[in-house]
């Protein structure tokens, strides 16, 4: 009888020790600890096939709209895209080799210019600024969109603008996540770093 009690006590002690070790392991891994977590965009699981399919479709349309704009003004660089009418129409701006900005409206399905391109009345300072930004840019609109697609799985880009921010050239991007929330993001146009743009929230 003593052997049974001793054996049961040893089993109980072993179970308590295992539970304590499990708690320590959880604390060491950060689970249950009061540690800050990095920013993560609120989106559906990247394994969600429907969200992934919608995102790929949206990326393809965005690319087709951009290509239609670049074809309309040969030798130009795309600097801005803004979705209108729930994505069926895009207002797009490109800058030509002289620094002149051209604006146009493009229907997205299929991608076709329906208004413009119309050259803007930019002064020489504006033209020089556009050309300076473009020269410093290492990621074009497609590459910036790809960065956002990876950072916000299932997200849909509604606006993309090349701009300067704190002495850096960035792509400012508005994204609607799969749960309908809007995220303001930035992609560094020189190194591709993606951050949340808290100043536009």
Write down the pLDDT at residue 52.
61
Give me the mean pLDDT over the 147-161 stretch.
94
- Asked whether the beta carbons of 119 and 100 are under 8 A apart, the reply is yes
Average pLDDT, the chain: 80
Write down the pLDDT at residue 34.
40
pLDDT in tens, 91-122: 999 999 999 999 999 999 899 999 999 999 98
pLDDT in tens, 63-74: 999 999 999 999
Q: Which residues, other chains included, contact 33 with Cβ-Cβ below 8 Å and sequence gap of 6+? A: 27
In the block, tokens 């997200």 appear at 155
Write down the pLDDT at residue 8.
44
Write down the pLDDT at residue 87.
81
Which among 134, 67, 62, 68 has a CA at the least distance from the CA of 100? 134
């Amino acid at each position: 009888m003593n052997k049974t009690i001793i054996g049961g006590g040893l089993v109980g002690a072993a179970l308590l020790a295992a539970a304590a070790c499990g708690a320590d392991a959880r604390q060491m891994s950060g689970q249950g600890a009061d540690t800050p977590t990095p920013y993560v965009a609120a989106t559906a699981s990247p394994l969600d096939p429907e969200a992934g399919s919608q995102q790929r479709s949206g990326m393809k349309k965005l690319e087709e709209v951009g290509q239609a704009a670049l074809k309309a003004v040969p030798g130009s660089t795309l600097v801005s895209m803004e979705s209108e009418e729930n994505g069926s129409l895009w207002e797009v701006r490109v800058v030509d080799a002289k620094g002149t900005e051209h604006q146009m409206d493009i229907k997205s399905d299929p991608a076709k210019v329906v208004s413009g391109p119309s050259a803007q009345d930019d002064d020489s300072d504006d033209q020089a600024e556009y050309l300076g930004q473009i020269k410093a840019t290492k990621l074009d609109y497609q590459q910036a969109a790809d960065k956002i697609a990876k950072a916000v799985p299932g997200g849909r880009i509604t606006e993309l603008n090349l701009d300067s921010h704190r002495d850096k050239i960035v792509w400012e991007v508005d994204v609607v996540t799969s749960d309908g929330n809007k995220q303001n993001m930035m992609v560094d146009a020189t190194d591709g770093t993606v951050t949340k743009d808290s100043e536009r929230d």
